[in-house]
Amino acid sequence: MPIMEHNTVAAKKGKGEIFITHLLTPKEMVGKCEMFAGVKIPVGSSLNVHQHVNNNETYHIIQGTGLYTDNGKTYTVKAGDTTFCADGDTHGIENVGDEDLIFIALIISTK
């Protein structure tokens, strides 16, 4: 089994900087997924609320504590929790804990 090379990028998509590690490339996802990645949000940083159009997104929390916003309602999420944002819905997440918030993000096309 081959070991995949990871590509980590820093992004400004809210408060502070977040780090996205792409775990698969478009070639491996063969048009079925738009993103499969590990995401690290440092303490005090966030990923702004945004809408999904023609896709949905799932977060599986690995470490830390976050404040997850889903269509205007907020929930506390922690390691072991999984969220789902359907096509047309909005979501965002902020690290409100005292360690990095780390999760797996999966975006699947609904087209």
Query: Mean pLDDT score of the chain, rounded to an integer?
Result: 93
Contact in structure between 69 and 98 (CB atoms under 8 Å) = no
Q: Which CATH class is domain 7-109?
A: mainly beta
| Rounded average pLDDT over 49-69 | 97
Report the 3 state secondary structure along the chain. CCCCCCEEEEECCCCCCEEEEECCCHHHHCCCEEEEEEEEECCCCEEEEEECCCEEEEEEEEECEEEEEECCEEEEEECCCEEEECCCCEEEEEECCCCCEEEEEEEEECC
Q: Model confidence at 1, in pLDDT bands (50, 70, 90)?
A: very low
The whole-model pTM stands at: 0.91
Domain boundaries, the chain: 7-109
- What are the CA-CA distances from residue 12 to residues 21, 22, 31, 41, 90 (Å)? 14, 16, 26, 11, 18
